[in-house]
């Protein structure tokens, strides 16, 4: 057994390996008060890095988790607007200039700017269609793969985002292009063009939708609900 392992073992049993006296812990080290031997120092704290003085507050210093729905994985910062009457006009102009320069420096190239715009469109459309978080991440991944494969050249970013949302929805369930086109900022033809290109070039395995998969969607579109329609049919 090595000396380091033996020292840790002695520190855990609270016995000095030199004189056999009881160990004492003070601050960040464990030492022997008899012979002065330092057995353990700088222990690793595996607890959280934040303190909460309110039972309902569970704040953390680590920030939000990384996500593919942001062009920078969610690691960038945002300088918000300051609306305080005690700030002078010169300082307000300086903060506004810093905010503008900071927003411009977030994008290293036009490619990053287009990626940020496309991912923003994906988040907006997925939220309007009430899609799950898995569908949103799948759509963001498809959009980034299409940009890496140079499939968006000559096509609109909005069309590529709509095609990515539709393809992700088809892979994770049932979604209609008509519904995607209603919330998209492009025509349905542009979305279909980008979708066919993605399916051919990225070799997407889109499952075939069976008629039984459309039953919940059709029932939800019936005015008054499916049960009310069945009741009226039986009554007649």
pLDDT of 222 over the 70 cut: yes
The model scores a pTM over 0.75: no
Does residue 1 register a pLDDT over 50? no
Please compute the mean of the pLDDT values over residues 183-200 and round it to a whole number: 92
pLDDT at position 189 is: 92
pLDDT at 191 over 70: yes
Q: Which domains does the chain have, with CATH numbers?
A: 16-45 (no CATH), 110-209 (1.10.472.10)
Under 8 Å between Cβ of 26 and 34: no
Instruction: Supply the mean pLDDT for the chain.
Output: 79
Q: pLDDT: is 3 or 161 the higher one?
A: 161
User: Using CA atoms, how far apart are residues 128 and 179, in angstroms rounded to an integer?
Assistant: 10
Residue 99 neighbours by CB under 8 Å, 6+ apart? 79, 81
- In three-state form (DSSP H/G/I as H, E/B as E, the rest C), the secondary structure along the chain is CCHHHHHHHHHHHCECCCCCCECEEECCEEECCCCCCEEEECCCCCCCCCCCCCCCCCCCCCCCCCCCCCCCCCCCCCCCCCCCCCCCHHHHHHHHHHHHHHHHHCCCCHHHHHHHHHHHHHHHHHHHCCCCHHHHHHHHHHHHHHHHCCCCCCCCHHHHHHHHHHHHHHHHCCCCHHHHHHHCCCCHHHHHHHHHHHHHHCCCCCCCCCHHHHHHHHHHHCCCCHHHHHHHHHHC
Place of tokens 């009457």: 85
- Pairwise CA distance, residues 177 & 187, whole Å: 11
| pLDDT per position as a tens digit, 10-59 | 445 678 888 888 888 776 788 888 888 888 776 666 666 555 555 555 55
Other beta carbons less than 10 A from residue 95's beta carbon: 15
* pLDDT, tens only, 109-154: 888 889 999 999 999 999 999 898 999 999 999 999 999 999 998 8
């Amino acid at each position: 057994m090595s000396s380091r392992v033996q020292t840790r073992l002695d520190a855990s049993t609270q016995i000095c390996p030199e004189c056999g006296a009881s160990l004492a812990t003070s601050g960040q080290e464990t030492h022997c008060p008899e012979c002065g031997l330092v057995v353990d120092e700088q222990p690793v704290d595996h607890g959280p890095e934040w303190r909460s003085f309110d039972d309902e507050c569970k704040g953390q210093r680590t920030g939000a988790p990384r996500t593919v729905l942001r062009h920078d994985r969610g690691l960038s910062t945002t300088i918000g607007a300051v609306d305080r009457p005690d700030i002078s006009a010169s300082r307000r102009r300086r903060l506004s200039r810093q905010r503008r320069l900071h927003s411009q420096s977030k994008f290293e190239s036009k490619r990053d700017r287009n990626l940020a715009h496309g991912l923003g469109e994906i988040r907006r459309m997925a939220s309007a269609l009430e899609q799950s978080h898995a569908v949103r991440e799948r759509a963001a991944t498809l959009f980034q793969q299409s940009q890496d494969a140079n499939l968006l050249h000559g096509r609109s970013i909005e069309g590529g985002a709509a095609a990515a949302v539709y393809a992700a929805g088809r892979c994770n369930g049932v979604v209609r292009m008509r519904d995607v086109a209603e919330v998209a900022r492009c025509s349905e033809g542009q979305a279909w063009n980008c979708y066919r290109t993605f399916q051919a070039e990225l070799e997407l395995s889109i499952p075939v939708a069976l008629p039984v998969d459309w039953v919940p969607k059709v029932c939800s579109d019936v005015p008054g609900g499916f049960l009310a329609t069945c009741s009226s049919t039986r009554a007649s």
